[in-house]
Structure 1
Amino acid sequence: MQLKILKTEKDYDKALNRIDELMELNPKIGTPESDELEILVLLVEKYEDINWNIETPDPIEAIKYRMEEMNLKQKDLIPYIGNKSKVSELLNRKISLSLTMVRNLSQALHIPVETLIKSI
C-alpha cells in the first residue's frame, strides 16, 4: 500500500484492511512490514482524532448518567459526597467536586478520575 495522509473514508477503510493484513503476518520489529504497520496505525489514529474526536464528558453529566444506569437516587450518593444538601448542590452545580468526592465517586460509580477532574 502506498502510504499517504488519510483524507477520505475510503482511504481510512483501505488503511484498516492493510493493518489487518499486516497484523496477520505478525511482522518482526524492524522489518519493512512492521514499519508500514506502525505508520498506518499512526495515520488511522490521526484520521480518527480529526473526524471522530470524542470529548471527555462533563463530570456532573457523567455522574447523572451513571446514577441513571445504576438506578441510584440522590440519597444514594450521600456516602460519597457528604450529606443530602451537598449532593443536591453538586448535582445543581452550586459547588464543585473536591478531591475526596472525586476519589469516592470514581471508586463507587466506576467513573474514570480523568472525567471527574475536568471541573477541578
Structure 2
Amino acid sequence: MTNKTGNKTLGTPKTYLELITAFPPRKITSEEELTITQNIIDSLLDQENLTPDERDYLHLLGLVVAEYEEHHYPVADIYGIELLKVLLEELNLQSKDLMPIFEQETVLSEVLSGKEQMTVNHIEKLAKFFHVSPAVFFKDV
C-alpha cells in the first residue's frame, strides 16, 4: 500500500503476522529500502496507541535500520573537548553557558582551544551539567 506521497505504509494491519506479511522485515541493502523501512516506522510512530504486536514489529524494524546505519554511517568515537563542543552545539548552548563550571573565561577559552586540559573538577561538573557519565570525557574508558 502507498500513501499520497508515494511512500509505502502499512494501512491497518494490527497483528504481528499481518504486519510481517504486509512488509516483511529483511536486511536493508540500499538507500531506497532504508527510506521505505523508515516510512513504515514513521507511520507506526504517528499512531497514538500501538498494540503490543505493533510495538514488537516496530522494534524489529528499528533493529534492521540500526544494523544498516551502523554499517553505512559509522559514528566516530568522540570524547573530551570534541564531545564537549558537540554537546554545546547539539543543545544550542554557547561557551559562556559553561562559565559556572570553568569560573574564569581564560580557563574556558584555553580548554576549548585544546591548550589546557580539563581538570577532574571540570569533568565532574560537566558530567552533572550534561547528565552524562564522567567517563565520556576520557579516551579509552
What is residue 94 of structure 2 aligned with on the other side? 70
Q: CA deviation at 1:45?
A: 1.7
Q: CA 1:98 to 1:116, structure 2 compared with 1: closer, same or farther past 3 Å?
A: farther
Query: Which of residues 30, 42, 58 in structure 2 aligns to 1:20?
Result: 42
Change (3 A) 1:57 1:2: same
Deviation of residue 18 (structure 1)? 1.6
Bigger helix fraction: 1
Secondary structure of 1:57's match? coil
In structure 1, what residue type is equivalent to 2:57? E
Gaps of 5+ in 2: 1-22
CA-CA distance at 1:43 after TM superposition: 0.7
Percent of pairs with identical residues: 21
Contact 1:80 1:104 in 2 (8 A): yes
Give the match for residue 99 of structure 1: 120
User: Per-residue deviation at 1:39?
Assistant: 1.0
* 1:47 partnered with 2:71: no
CA distance in 1, matches of 2:103, 2:124: 13
Q: Choose between structure 1 and 2 for higher RCO, CA contacts under 8 A separated by at least 6 residues.
A: 1
Q: Mark the runs of 5 or more structure 1 residues left unpaired by the alignment.
A: none
TM-score by length of 1: 0.59
Identify the residue that residue 117 of structure 1 maps to in structure 2: 137
Task: State the aligned residue count.
Answer: 114
